[in-house]
């Protein structure tokens, strides 16, 4: 009988997914090695400074000082691990199509070091078939000759950064494995970390479920963004409408309008779905339409804000409040506020921004709330933003976040 491997977990990618997973695994008794190819981030993490808002410096420092966790750029440590999880970005390329360069590179880098009986799990979001047709062939091609038995599964991450209620432990985890042995190993691993692990029949089901979850959000946000524009034309407050509809106890789920969609999931994952549909001769027209409605929102918001300013002002001063893609994080990836900013500049506005969680963005720095402006746009309601200060100023505010209600200076989206 093969001897049991030690409980060592190697996690490839120490970002919003990889680092919280590392801490959850440490909590569950695993020894974790975090591998990241970005040396400065590895140095920061090993210095006890967390790059992710949901993980405190103290939690990280305790894990490091207990010898339960450390980060490295060295992939050879994979040879010590019984489980390897891949948590690297899966962005879009310049044609807005899946870009698996980082995923392929991660699979190639681990392959030379995987030892017998290792479980390899992909947590990165991708289209169905990625584990079977991309990751497994790469690993099998580059693995050492002595490595004969490997287990493969995919367990798409569902973490919601900045969410105080749902985390790696209490969010049920979907697992699709390549064969029965892999499923047993993957279930045992995730059951050691999460309260609930749910198996599905194939990796493709798990991969497709992840795309469905995020596409569901994209299309519902698009529906509400379109509905908002129609209501505004009739001077109907969209939030009152949503609250009213949400009083129905079944068959309705409230979504709110906003500047658009951002981050590493909602604007991107549905395009993995549209691409995948095209590859297999299908169409995802509904999703493409939703994507285009959301993409048009920043321009709509900019025009609504400019309409609040006296038209005789040639170069109006606009203050944007909150530039991260959502509340509670400093993450500006794919933030729709970028397009809002660009459109305002293109219209001749002088634009400044304030965000307590973002120091520098678009080669500019956050200004303070006293920055004098002709109109303010509350784009993302960040914790620590003193909105009372803005309300004290004699300026109209376009509130895209439904945070401020019933005030004469507040204009809901």
Ligand X SMILES: NC(=O)c1ccc[n+]([C@@H]2O[C@H](COP(=O)([O-])OP(=O)(O)OC[C@H]3O[C@@H](n4cnc5c(N)ncnc54)[C@H](O)[C@@H]3O)[C@@H](O)[C@H]2O)c1
Nearer to ligand X, 85 or 396 (CB): 85
Verify binding: residue 90, ligand X, rule CB under 6 A. yes
Smallest separation (angstroms) from ligand X to the CB of 236 = 33
Q: Verify binding: residue 106, ligand X, rule CB under 6 A.
A: yes
What residues contact 175, with CB distance under 8 A and at least 6 apart?
Answer: 153, 154, 155, 183, 186, 187, 190, 197, 198, 199, 200, 206
Is residue 265 part of the annotated active site? The answer reads yes
Smallest separation (angstroms) from ligand X to the CB of 23: 13
Beta strands of 15-108 (E only): which ranges?
31-35, 69-72, 83-86
User: Min. distance of Cβ 15 from ligand X in angstroms?
Assistant: 2
* Residue 100 binding ligand X, by CB under 6 A: no
> CB-wise, 209 or 296, nearer to ligand X?
209
Secondary structure element (H or E) that encloses residue 364, with its range: strand 364-365
Element (H, E) at 398: strand 396-399
Judged by CB under 6 A, the chain residues 70 through 89 that form the site for ligand X are 87-89
Closer residue to ligand X, CB minimum distance, 41 or 354: 41
Is residue 124 at the binding interface for ligand X, with CB under 6 A as the rule?
yes
CA distances from 313 to 234, 344, 350 (A): 27, 14, 11
Contacts of residue 46, Cβ cutoff 8 Å, sequence gap at least 6: 64, 70, 71
Residue 161 or residue 258: which is nearer to ligand X going by CB? 161
Other CB atoms within 10 A of residue 93 CB: 10
Could you say whether residue 36 binds ligand X (CB under 6 A)?
yes
- Choosing from 109, 265, 373, 400, the catalytic residue is 265
Count the residues in the chain: 413
Q: Does 37 bind ligand X (CB under 6 A)?
A: yes
Is residue 387 close enough to count as binding ligand X by CB under 6 A? no
The minimum distance between CB 103 and ligand X, in angstroms, equals: 8
Contact 221, 261 (CB under 8 A): yes
127 binds ligand X (CB under 6 A): no
Specify the residue, 92 or 309, whose C-beta has the smaller distance to ligand X. Answer: 92
Q: Which is nearer to ligand X, 80 or 229 (CB)?
A: 80
| Contact in structure between 374 and 218 (CB atoms under 8 Å) | no
Residue 118, beta-bridge partner list: 150
Question: Residue 388 CB: number of other CB atoms within 10 A?
Answer: 8
Residue 46 lies near ligand X (rule: CB under 6 A): no
Binding-site member from 17, 178, 302, 369 for ligand X (CB under 6 A): 17
Q: With CA atoms as reference, report the closest residue to 377 among 339, 331, 332, 328.
A: 339
Nearest to 152 by CA among 73, 206, 208: 206
Token duo for residue 25: 């695994």
Q: Which of residues 153-172 bind ligand X (CB under 6 A)?
A: 157-159, 161
Q: Please, which residues bridge with residue 173 across strands?
A: 197
Q: Candidates 8, 18, 33, 270: give the one binding ligand X (CB under 6 A).
A: 18
**Distance of alpha carbon 327 from alpha carbon 380, whole angstroms:** 6
Q: Which is nearer to ligand X, 37 or 202 (CB)?
A: 37
Instruction: Report the C-alpha gap between 304 and 261 in whole angstroms.
Output: 18
State which of positions 129-158 bind ligand X (CB under 6 A). 157-158
Residue nearest to ligand X (CB): 15
Question: What mask, x for binding ligand X by CB under 6 A, covers residues 231 to 250?
Answer: --------------------
The footprint of ligand X (CB under 6 A) covers: 12-18, 35-38, 41, 87-90, 102, 105-106, 109, 124-125, 157-159, 161, 264-265
Q: Which residues are identified as catalytic? A: 265
């Amino acid at each position: 009988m093969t001897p049991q491997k030690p409980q060592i977990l190697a996690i490839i990618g120490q970002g919003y997914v990889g680092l919280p997973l590392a801490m959850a695994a440490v909590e569950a008794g695993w020894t974790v090695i975090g591998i990241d190819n970005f040396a400065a981030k590895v140095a920061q993490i090993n210095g006890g400074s967390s790059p992710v808002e949901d993980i405190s410096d103290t939690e990280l420092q305790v894990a490091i000082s207990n010898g339960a966790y450390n980060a490295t750029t060295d992939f050879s440590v994979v040879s010590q691990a019984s489980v390897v999880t891949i948590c690297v970005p899966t962005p879009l390329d310049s044609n807005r199509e899946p870009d698996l360069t980082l995923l392929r590179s991660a699979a190639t880098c681990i392959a030379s070091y995987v030892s017998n009986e290792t479980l390899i799990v992909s947590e990165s979001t991708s289209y169905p078939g990625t584990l079977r047709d991309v990751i497994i062939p790469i690993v099998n091609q580059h693995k050492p000759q002595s490595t004969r038995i490997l287990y493969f599964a995919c367990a798409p991450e569902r973490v919601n950064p900045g969410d105080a209620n749902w985390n790696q432990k209490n969010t049920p985890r979907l697992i699709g494995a390549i064969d029965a042995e892999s499923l047993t190993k993957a279930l045992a691993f995730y059951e050691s970390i999460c309260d609930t692990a749910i198996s599905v029949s194939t990796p493709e089901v798990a991969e497709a479920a992840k795309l469905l979850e995020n596409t569901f959000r994209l299309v519902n946000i698009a529906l509400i963004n379109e509905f908002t524009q129609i209501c505004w034309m009739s001077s109907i407050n969209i939030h009152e409408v949503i609250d009213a509809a949400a009083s129905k106890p079944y068959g309705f789920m409230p979504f709110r309008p906003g500047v658009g969609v951002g981050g590493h999931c909602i604007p991107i994952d549905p395009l993995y779905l549209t691409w995948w549909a095209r590859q297999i001769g299908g169409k995802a027209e509904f999703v493409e339409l939703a994507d285009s409605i959301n993409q048009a929102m920043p321009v709509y918001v900019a025009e609504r804000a400019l309409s609040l300013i006296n038209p005789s002002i040639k170069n109006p001063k606009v203050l944007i409040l909150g530039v991260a893609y959502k509340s509670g994080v400093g993450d500006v990836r794919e933030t729709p506020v970028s397009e809002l900013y660009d459109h305002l500049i293109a219209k001749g506005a002088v634009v400044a921004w304030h965000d307590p969680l973002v120091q520098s963005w678009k080669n500019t720095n956050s200004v303070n709330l006293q920055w004098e402006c002709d109109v303010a746009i509350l784009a993302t309601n960040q914790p620590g933003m003193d909105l009372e200060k803005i309300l004290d100023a004699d300026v109209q505010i376009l509130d895209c976040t439904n945070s401020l209600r019933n005030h004469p200076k507040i204009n809901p989206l």
